[in-house]
Chains A and B, each alone.
Chain A
Amino acid sequence: MKPRTLFEKVWDAHVVRRETADTPAVLYVDLHLVHEVTSPQAFEVLRERGLRVRRPDRALATMDHSTPTTPGAARFAIADAQAAAQLRQLEQNCQDFGIELHALGSEGQGIVHVIGPEMGVTQPGRTIVCGDSHTSTHGAFGALAFGIGTSEVAHVLATQCVLQRRPRTLEVRVDGRLRPGVTAKDLILAVIARIGVGGGSGHVIEFSGSAVRVLSMEERMTVCNMSIEAGARAGMIAPDDTTFEYLARTPRAPKEAEWERAVARWRQLPGDPGAAFDGSVRIDGEALEPMITYGTNPGMAVPVGAYVPDPAAVSDAAARAALEKALRYMDLRPGQPLLGQRVDVVFIGSCTNSRIEDLRGAAKVMRGRKVAEGVRVLVVPGSRRVKRDAEAEGLDRIFSEAGAEWREPGCSMCIAMNGDQLAPGQYAVSTSNRNFEGRQGKGGRTFLASPLTAAAAAVTGRIADARELLT
């Protein structure tokens, strides 16, 4: 048999009908994650056609995108009537179609890409979809996980399958060891800066190499989460002992004899020696620096100590125009240093960086320090579970004593649908995944960075190199 990559093994195991020249493959979905924003119209299709949910046991829903994160907010006491109606609709849909829901206020609630892994339903070798592009996060476990649109949400609800053409594969190999103060977020920002926001288009990325092997599960999730920001269909990392140790602690992972069988199966998933990728990129992990974005897409990123690029130095006309437009929006001058740039808001959260390790990192920088005057700092844990764990360690007190807001879980200022948002013209250092125009609030300006860099900005009021605060 031809040597196969991790992706090929997972794909092959889920093909219900092979693709032909005329028809795409019918691919089986093991786990369907559902949230309030991209599902209502899908359930509407089911009702219109009189269809049931084929496998409600393979669906799992939560509320995250438009939920308030205000401390102590009563359930559904939401000022925004439209958001409240959408949340109620999800509750109704889950009730009518028999889907497990972790609603606002319940103990299992949180960002969909945080709760799946922490519950242990995100497992190696599974196919996982969700009406959300950051579904790529789950690839950290060696699952094939990708975002789908609402029409496809209806497809999966009704048939447990999606129609797919087989994507190509791209290996991103990072060797060497990340230096202290350089995080998984910096690694993935460097990858996107290198291959571009369309560089992974049509491909599933597999991250490999010694720098990736030593990453924790939280760090691997950060890396795979932002695969979509390079335009990739999915990101994957081969499962190993780190994966199994994480899963062993989760409530819904297989138990006892079933666990042993599962681990034996999962050990077969890593790519075979000699398996070929359609493309390959190599990155020296040792050379990576803390990264920060300066523009309006995640590919516009440089080391934190670098300068804002000059459009005059860009030869391609479309790229030059894009850079000029981005700098106009960001109100930054070519050649200005990023270090020292004033900041109004710091957001620590999102499906990219809201897990316990992310909060520990931010707390390490903020411990015993105060939030700089005039800066608003929001720390938004990814789930109720992360919130409880952080509070048990006393991280909440470190943030609160520094003067940061310790909030309830949700997507919050990453997508700014819930009232947590920037005012026009404000600058934010954000641990989220998108610095698109207006993403964090109309007219708001985003610098994407790691939790360490964000925490450094919180206490200095400026873009800073966190390594100088960690010594």
Chain B
Amino acid sequence: MEPIRRIVSRTVVLPQRDVDTDQIIPARYLKVTRRGGLGEALFADWRYDKDGKPRSEFPLNDPKSKGAQVLVAGANFGCGSSREHAPWALRDYGFRAVVSSSIADIFRTNALKNGLVPVVVDAAVHDRLLATPGIEVTIDLDTRTLGADGIRASFPLDPFARHCLMNGVDELGYLLEQSKAISEYEEAACAP
């Protein structure tokens, strides 16, 4: 994975709260055996009309949103299923961070494993970001801060996840290094 230290980008705002993973990528797109190429399916039922044409009123289809790497979304983003296809689709589309006032647990875990930075900010900062679509933000993993014109907010990021993101390390490598401890656990046979 490519190391991530800083993301500087304009935002796209999707103000609805409780955006579930079925909206991020509908289930009919989950019949794949690879992880690539899912950006086309991102928000498919909101993004395209019944003929497959982009809906002009959907924020991602606004020409000003082109190239934006930071999605600002309403509270409880990513609730619902455990499908990792959701962060795969967001990454494949070009997003590198999701900012909200809360992010669902499984989605957050999945995002961290795919170089998509989950940024949780307080309600006041969240409201300002929701109210100013297209604003340029700087997300700095080293200082765990989100900065923008007149905004400077810190956000929580698990130290281990941060280390993995900043060094491009994946967690599987770390787990494989625990092999001896896992064997000892298995031998102790305390697992019922």
- Interface, chain A (partner B; CB < 8 A): 13-14, 16-17, 21-24, 26, 28, 30, 37-38, 40-41, 44-45, 49, 51, 54, 65-66, 80, 82-83, 85-86, 89, 123-126, 131-133, 135, 147-152, 154-155, 158-161, 163, 165, 197-198, 201-202, 231, 233, 262, 265, 297, 318-319, 321-322, 325, 415-417, 424, 434, 436-439, 442
**B53 in contact (CB, < 8 A):** no
Measured between beta carbons, the chain A residues less than 8 angstroms from B92 are: none
Q: Are B35 and A41 in contact (CB under 8 A)?
A: yes
Could you tell me the distance between the alpha carbons of A158 and B35 in the complex, rounded to whole angstroms? 19
Within the assembled complex, what's the spacing in Å between the Cα atoms of A438 and B95?
24
- Measured between alpha carbons, how far is A233 from B79 in the docked complex, in Å? 11
Known: A16-B178, A151-B113, A198-B18. Is A38-B191 also a contact (CB below 8 A)?
no
> Which residues of A lie under 8 Å from residue B192 when comparing CB positions?
13, 30, 123-126, 262, 265
B167 within 8 A of A: no
Looking across the interface, which residue of chain B has its beta carbon closest to that of A318?
B17
Pairs of residues from A and B, 3 with the lowest C-beta to C-beta distance, nearest first: A149-B110, A149-B84, A40-B33
**Quick one: given A149-B113, A197-B79, are A37 and B175 in contact (CB under 8 Å)?**
no
Q: Are B191 and A30 in contact (CB under 8 A)?
A: yes
Is there contact, CB below 8 Å, between B172 and A132? Answer: no
Pick out which of these stretches binds chain A: B4-12, B21-29, B54-62, B146-154: B21-29
Query: Which residues of B have CB within 8 Å of A322?
Result: 16-18, 74
Q: Please pick, from B15, B23, B75, B172, the residue contacting A436 in the complex, using a CB distance under 8 A.
A: B23
Which residues of B13-56 are within 8 A (CB) of A?
15-18, 20, 22-23, 26-28, 30-35, 45, 50
Instruction: Give the distance in Å from the alpha carbon of A415 to the alpha carbon of B29 in the complex.
Output: 12
Q: Is the CB of B31 within 8 A of A26?
A: no
Can you give 24 contacting A-B residue pairs, CB < 8 Å? A14-B191, A16-B181, A24-B160, A37-B83, A38-B30, A38-B82, A40-B34, A54-B182, A89-B33, A125-B192, A131-B82, A133-B80, A135-B82, A148-B109, A149-B113, A151-B84, A151-B172, A155-B175, A198-B76, A265-B192, A321-B15, A321-B16, A436-B22, A438-B22
| Count: A-B pairs, CB below 8 Å | 187
With A80-B31, A197-B76 known to touch, is A133 a contact of B182 (CB < 8 Å)?
no
Contact for A442 among B17, B26, B158, CB less than 8 A: B26
A438-B22, A442-B45 in contact; A147/B106 too (CB < 8 A)? yes
**Does the CB pair B27–A415 fall under 8 Å?**
yes
A308 nearest CB across to chain B (Å): 18
- A85-B45 in contact given A24-B158, A158-B175, A438-B22 (Cβ < 8 Å): no
CB distance from A216 to the nearest CB of B (A): 23
B159 close to A (CB within 8 Å): yes
Are A44 and B22 closer than 8 Å at their CB atoms? no
| Contact across chains for B105 and A202 when beta carbons are under 8 A apart | yes
* Extra inter-chain contacts (4) besides given A30-B191, A197-B79, A231-B104, CB under 8 Å: A44-B34, A149-B110, A322-B74, A415-B27
**Docked pose: A319 CA to B74 CA in angstroms:** 10
CA gap between A133 and B81 in the complex, in Å:
5
- Pick the residue among A160, A198, A438 that contacts B45 (CB under 8 A): A438
Number of interface residues of B (CB under 8 A): 54
- Give min CB distance, A156 to chain B, whole Å: 9
* Complex contact B33–A151 (CB within 8 A): no
A99 CB → nearest B CB, Å = 16
Q: Complex formed: what's the CA distance from A63 to B171 in Å?
A: 28
- The yes or no answer to B124 lying at the interface (CB within 8 A) is no
* Interface pair A231/B81, CB less than 8 Å apart: no
- For residue B31, which residue of chain A has the nearest CB? A82
- Given A415-B27, A436-B22: A149 touches B109 (CB 8 Å cut-off): yes
In the assembled complex, how far is the CB of residue A43 from the closest CB belonging to chain B, in whole angstroms?
9
Q: Which residues of B contact A (CB under 8 A)?
A: 15-18, 20, 22-23, 26-28, 30-35, 45, 50, 74-76, 79-84, 102, 104-106, 109-110, 113-114, 158-160, 163, 170-172, 174-176, 178-179, 181-182, 185-186, 190-192
A163 and B174 within 8 A (CB): yes
Contact yes or no, B160 A22, CB < 8 A: yes
Cβ contact of B20, chosen from A21, A44, A436, cutoff 8 A: A436
Distance (Å) between the CB of A379 and the closest chain B CB? Answer: 21
Given the complex, which residues of A lie within 8 Å of B181, measured CB to CB? 16-17, 26
Q: Report which residue of A13, A197, A198 has the largest number of chain B beta carbons within 10 angstroms of its beta carbon.
A: A198
Please, how many angstroms separate the alpha-carbon atoms of A76 and B41 in the complex?
26
Asked whether, in the complex, the Cβ of A147 is within 8 Å of the Cβ of B158, the reply is no
Q: How far is the CB of A259 from chain B (nearest CB, A)?
A: 13
* B182:A233 contact, CB within 8 angstroms: no
Known contacts A38-B84, A86-B31, A161-B175; A197/B160 CB under 8 A: no
Task: Choose one: B18, B22, B82, B178; the contact of A149 (CB below 8 Å).
Answer: B82
The reply to whether B185 and A437 form a contact with Cβ atoms under 8 Å apart is no
- CB-CB under 8 A from A131, the residues of chain B are 82, 84
CA distance A147 to B108 in the complex (A): 13
**Given A24-B158, A297-B20, A442-B45; A149-B106 close (CB under 8 Å):** yes
Looking at the complex, which one of A132, A159, A438 makes contact with B176 (CB distance below 8 Å)?
Answer: A159
How far apart are the CA atoms of A149 and B81 in the complex, in Å?
A: 9
> How far apart sit A417 and B114, CA to CA, in the bound complex (Å)?
25
**Are B82 and A133 in contact, with the CB atoms below 8 A?**
yes
Q: Name A416's contact: one of B28, B35, B74, B159 (CB within 8 Å).
A: B28
**Cα separation A23 to B178 with both chains bound (whole Å):** 12
Q: What CA separation (Å) do A337 and B141 show in the bound complex?
A: 51
Residue of B nearest to A40 (CB): B33
A131 to B182, CA, bound (A): 22
Q: Which residues of A contact B163 (CB under 8 A)?
A: 22
Neighbouring A residues of B191 by C-beta, 8 Å: 13-14, 28, 30
Please determine whether B79 and A231 come into contact, CB atoms closer than 8 angstroms: yes
Taking a contact as CB atoms under 8 Å apart, the answer to whether B45 and A159 are in contact is: no
Is A82 in contact with B178, judged by CB distance below 8 angstroms? no
